[in-house]
Amino acid sequence: MKKIVVLYPGLAVSHFIPMMQLADVLLEEGYDVVVALIDITMEHNIALAAAVDRVIASSKPAVTFHTLPRIHDPPTVTNDVNLLLGYLEIIRRYNEHLREFLCSIPPPSIHAVIVDSWSDAALDVTGHLGIPAYSFFASNASALAVCLQLPYWARRRAEGQPSFKELAGDATVNFHGVPPIPASHLIREVLEDPNTEIYRAVMNSLGKNLEAAGILVNTFASLEPRAVAALKDPHFLTTESGLTVPPVYCVGPLVEEAAAETKQKHECLTWLDEQPERSVVFLCFGSLGNHSETQLKEIAAGLERSGHRFLWVVRAPLGDNPEKTFGDQANPDLHTLLPEGFLERTRGRGLVVKLWAPQVEVLRHKATGAFVTHCGWNSVLEAIMAGGVPMLCWPLYAEQKMNKVLMVEEIGIGVELAGWQHGLVKADELEAKVRLVMMESEEGEQLRARVTAHKEAAGMAWKDGGSSRMAFGQFLSDAAKVGQDRLTLG
């Protein structure tokens, strides 16, 4: 009987795409893959819906996509600090549909269920059914190390320690396995008042990942040796909490493949073909990356003054409207948002595209020389896999501020753009950092060399005997043993 692995992806493009890359690896190992999808036809999740359609259209026949029935009156997921509160409620309310679906599959056929780390309410379902379940952490090992420690640091408040909110000025926090992190760089939900509903919900969710049989992480061992070693330490959490971390499997980099060439090549790729090698600065801030009109004008001024070629993906500002939800796509009016005459003055030297560009293909293009990024982990891995593309770090949300610390201080593959902490990166700062990275400076060359070295290490990680290949094999073996033990006990 062929074994099935059920994937339960999160409701964000940055979580969905790497899990689909995991599906490809499972297929190569001879498993059938079933993807259980929460109905993402919600009008405010256009970016994810497009990604799902793209993956379904290109998937191999062995991948089966099953859309769970829609729940009635789903909670709103708004673009504010309570975003995760609505998200976690959606996941919880889909548990019954997930249970019905898993029960429709003969139990011996299911090798494992892999759930997104923010969908961990599903562990209640798999635990009740006795199915081996694993958490998929779409970010890096350093962020995982912090997230697993956050709930137990929070408990120290009872001993008179200050809350993260009270530390969120210039104070730094020391977590096992990572460099010192400013408290202000933690995810925004834990910087709320500890008595708020969102704070409690997020802390509970972070802790729940420890109930999984194991945690798969989208990184590779040589990229984050300190964090990986800490997570494998049997005493990582036990000193303070009496709890242990389940096995952690570093199975990255799980990065979207470059799309096959088509007759309708994206305009930006055609434009890049005409540019000199490593001459273009690429600016893209992810599927949720919006800036204010003031900030867009500062970026434009900095790029124009730098004198360097650029490719810039622009989204319209979301403003203060909480009804605009995550994944909302606004169509920007470039002539209104950018300085008067900017597009005309930079024509030929720069290209501005609306909403989206084929990022993987752009980063791997020979003309791309640097990447201004929001530090989303998928983007970081894509730049590493492109090779020789140093990064200018401009974190915006989620764990990206922590990623910035890792990129700049631990791995050494990027430089920080000052000003983001206060909500505005000035034109002079962007101009200076673009010149630093793009010109033949010693620091720029060192950044490129480190990125290239990590690309080579990433390639080795998935070869026979490589760290990620071995970790993935260990995961499959452990899942089989967990399943057999539960069948025996049952």
Tell me the per-residue pLDDT of 273-293, one tens digit each, with 9 for 90 and over. Answer: 999 999 999 999 998 888 999
CATH number of 267-459, picked from 3.40.50.2000, 3.40.50.261, 2.60.40.1930, 3.50.50.60 = 3.40.50.2000
Q: H/E/C letters for each residue in the chain?
A: CCCEEEEECCCCHHHHHHHHHHHHHHHHCCCEEEEEECCCCCCCCHHHHHHHHHHHHHCCCCEEEEECCCCCCCCCCECCCCHHHHHHHHHHHCHHHHHHHHHCCCHHHEEEEEEEHHHHHHHHHHHHHCCCEEEEECCCHHHHHHHHHHHHHHHHHHHCCCCHHHHCCCCEECCCCCCCEEHHHCCHHHHCCCCCHHHHHHHHHHHHHHHCCCEEECCCHHHCHHHHHHHHCCCCCHHHHCCCCCCEEECCCCCCCCCCCCCCCCHHHHHHHCCCCCCEEEEECCCCCCCCHHHHHHHHHHHHHHCCEEEEEECCCCCCCCCCECCCCCCCCHHHHCCCCHHHHCECCEEEEECCCCHHHHHCCCCEEEEEECCCHHHHHHHHHHCCCCEEECCCCCCHHHHHHHHHHHHCCEEECCCHHHCCCCHHHHHHHHHHHHCCCHHHHHHHHHHHHHHHHHHHHCCCCCHHHHHHHHHHHHHHHHHHHHHHHC
Write down the pLDDT at residue 237: 86
Higher confidence at residue 284 or residue 243? 284
Percent of the chain surpassing pLDDT 70: 91
| pLDDT tens readout for residues 377-402 | 999 999 999 988 999 999 999 999 99
Q: Residue 285 burial by CB count (10 A; 0-12/13-18/19+): exposed, middle or buried?
A: buried
16-to-21, 94, 116, 156, 282 alpha-carbon distances in Å: 9, 17, 9, 34, 24
Task: Give the Cα separation of 466 and 373 in Å (integer).
Answer: 29
| pLDDT tens readout for residues 118-151 | 999 999 999 999 999 999 999 999 999 999 999 9
Length of the chain as a residue count = 490
Write down the pLDDT at residue 329: 45
**C-alpha dihedral sign at 186, 192, 198, 203:** positive
The residues, any chain, with a CB within 8 Å of residue 42's CB and separated by 6 or more, are 74
> What's the pLDDT band for 263 if we cut at 50, 70, 90?
low
| pLDDT tens readout for residues 430-460 | 999 999 999 878 898 999 999 999 999 999 9
Task: Classify domain 4-252+462-488 at the CATH superfamily level.
Answer: Glycogen Phosphorylase B; (3.40.50.2000)
> What's the pLDDT band for 76 if we cut at 50, 70, 90?
confident
Provide the residue ranges of all domains of the chain, joining segments of one domain with +: 4-252+462-488, 267-459
Q: Which of 130-144, 158-172, 220-234, 339-353 has the lowest mean pLDDT?
A: 158-172
Residue 184 has pLDDT above 90, yes or no: yes
Give mean pLDDT, residues 393-417. 97
Higher confidence at residue 330 or residue 79? 79
Write down the pLDDT at residue 325: 43
